[in-house]
Amino acid sequence: MDIPFLNLTQQQLLEKHLYPRITEEKKTYIVTANPEIVMKAKENEKYKGMVKQADFIIPDGTGIVMASKLIKQPIQERVAGFDLMTHLIGYAEDQQLSCFFLGASEEVSKKMVERLKTLHPYLHIAGRHHGFFELEDRTVIEEVLDSRPDLIFVALGSPRQEEWITKYFNEFDKGLFMGVGGSFDVIAG
Ligand code: UDP
């Protein structure tokens, strides 16, 4: 389907690529591609282009791993976006790196940050903003830029989260950007 999926375990991805890139302040864009995203990319060339700009497209779904085996290009393991995000937040807390959380409703966004403060008392939260704004609205991007985050988790659903990341990626001089779908709702409980 013309989507170059990552073929590494989560541990390999983190240790060989993501941790070093974060330390070196090398900008990184991650797409967590579940079957829904793959189908959207198939139907929409423009969206596919946004997905393919990612440094890492991770196979977020057993369906994708099964399909890879059928076409005899087996992917080692599913890398769930939620798990990866959780590991990255833990790493950020250990390394004193800052995170911005963009997306979800105002209520979920607030609750999620409160919950994160309990789970990760030393985590540096650069900021948060709900996800219901016009993509062209500069207020939000200025707020994110001003906070100079190391990691930016974007929960606007697809395709909005990939649109936001690809639209503004070049304005940042550092940061790991990851689209995380409904993950904030899960953390908020
Ligand atoms: N969301 C948002 N802004 C929008 C649309 C969605 O912040 O304009 C949030 C929504 O509240 C939820 C997350 O994006 O927290 C994921 O939404 P959805 O489940 O629709 O996306 P999916 O995970 O299926 O891509």
Look up the ipTM and state it.
Answer: 0.94
Q: Give me the pLDDT at residue 84, please.
A: 98
Identify the residue whose C-alpha is closest to ligand 1 atom 1: 156
For the chain, the structural domain boundaries read: 10-188
Q: Which two tokens stand for residue 150?
A: 């190391």
CB 144 within 8 A of CB 114: no
Q: What is the mean pLDDT of the chain?
A: 96
Q: Give me the pLDDT at residue 2, please.
A: 86
pLDDT at position 61 over 90: no
Which residues make Cβ contacts (< 8 Å) with residue 126, sequence separation at least 6? 98, 99, 100, 147, 148, 149, 150
CATH topology of domain 10-188: Rossmann fold (3.40.50)
The radius of gyration of the chain's CA atoms, rounded to the nearest angstrom, is 16
Residue 82 Cα to ligand 1 middle (Å) = 14
pLDDT at position 47 over 90: yes
The SS3 assignment for 45 reads helix
160 lines ligand 1 (CB under 6 A): yes
Q: What is the pLDDT of residues 69-112, one digit of tens each?
A: 999 989 999 999 999 999 999 999 999 999 999 999 999 999 99
